[in-house]
Amino acid sequence: MLKIEGLTKRYGSVAAVDGLDLEILEGEFFTLLGPSGCGKTTTLRCLGGLEKADGGEIFLRDRCLVSVPQHRFVPPERREMGMVFQSYALWPHMSVFENVAYPLKLRHASRDEIRRRVADALRLVGLEAYSERQAPLLSGGQQQRVALARALVFSPQVLLLDEPLSNLDALLRDEMRHELKELRDRVNVTMIYVTHDQVEALSLSSRIAIMNQGKLDQVGTPQEVYSHPATPFAQTFLGKTLSVPGRVASSGSGSTKIIIEGADDFPLHVSSSAERLRTTTTFAVGDAVDVAIRPEQIRVWPERPDGQPNIVATRVRSALFVGDRYEYVIELGHSTPVLPLPSNQVYQADEYLYLEFPEAAVTIWPK
Ligand X SMILES: Nc1ncnc2c1ncn2[C@@H]1O[C@H](COP(=O)(O)OP(=O)(O)O)[C@@H](O)[C@H]1O
Q: Is 87 in the site for ligand X (CB under 6 A)?
A: no
C-alpha 278/C-alpha 295 separation (Å) is 19
Selected binder of ligand X within 27, 37, 136, 366 (CB under 6 A): 37
Q: Is 14 in the site for ligand X (CB under 6 A)?
A: yes
Smallest gap from residue 34 Cβ to ligand X (A): 6
Q: Is 40 in the site for ligand X (CB under 6 A)?
A: yes
Q: Is 198 in the site for Mg ion (CB under 5 A)?
A: no
Smallest gap from residue 105 Cβ to ligand X (A): 29
Choose between 7 and 104: whose C-beta lies nearer to ligand X. 7
Q: Is 47 in the site for ligand X (CB under 6 A)?
A: no
342 is in the binding site of which of ligand X, Mg ion, none (Cβ under 5 to 8 A by kind)?
none
| Encoded amino acid at 353, one letter | L
Selected binder of ligand X within 11, 69, 253, 322 (CB under 6 A): 11
48 is in the binding site of which of ligand X, Mg ion, none (Cβ under 5 to 8 A by kind)?
none
Selected binder of ligand X within 18, 30, 39, 147 (CB under 6 A): 39
As to burial, measured by CB atoms within 10 angstroms (0-12 exposed, 13-18 middle, 19+ buried), residue 178 is exposed
Segment contacting ligand X by CB under 6 A, of 33-41, 112-120, 241-249, 322-330: 33-41
295 is in the binding site of which of Mg ion, ligand X, none (Cβ under 5 to 8 A by kind)?
none
How far is CA 334 from its chain centroid?
A: 32
Smallest gap from residue 302 Cβ to ligand X (A): 44
Residues 12-71 that bind Mg ion (CB under 5 A): 41
Smallest gap from residue 86 Cβ to Mg ion (A): 7
CB atoms within 10 A of CB 326: 19
Smallest gap from residue 40 Cβ to Mg ion (A): 5
| Encoded amino acid at 177, one letter | R
| Encoded amino acid at 139, one letter | S
Selected binder of ligand X within 2, 7, 29, 42 (CB under 6 A): 42
Backbone phi, then psi, for 212, in 5-degree steps? -145, 115
- CA atoms within 13 Å, Cβ hemisphere of 14: 8
Q: Is 38 in the site for ligand X (CB under 6 A)?
A: yes
Own/partner contacts of 139-144, CB < 8 Å, gap of 24 or more, are 140/88, 140/167, 140/168, 140/169, 140/172, 141/168, 141/172, 141/175, 141/176, 143/88, 143/90, 144/84, 144/88, 144/168, 144/176
Smallest gap from residue 121 Cβ to ligand X (A): 27
Contact between 281 and 323 (Cβ < 8 Å)? no
Smallest gap from residue 144 Cβ to ligand X (A): 18
Segment contacting ligand X by CB under 6 A, of 35-43, 145-153, 173-181, 302-310: 35-43
235 is in the binding site of which of ligand X, Mg ion, none (Cβ under 5 to 8 A by kind)?
none
Smallest gap from residue 213 Cβ to Mg ion (A): 14
Choose between 37 and 342: whose C-beta lies nearer to ligand X. 37
Closest CA relative to residue 335, chosen from 271, 247, 257: 247
Selected binder of ligand X within 7, 16, 152, 176 (CB under 6 A): 16
Binding site for ligand X (CB under 6 A): 11, 14, 16, 34, 36-42
Binding positions for Mg ion, rule: CB under 5 A: 41
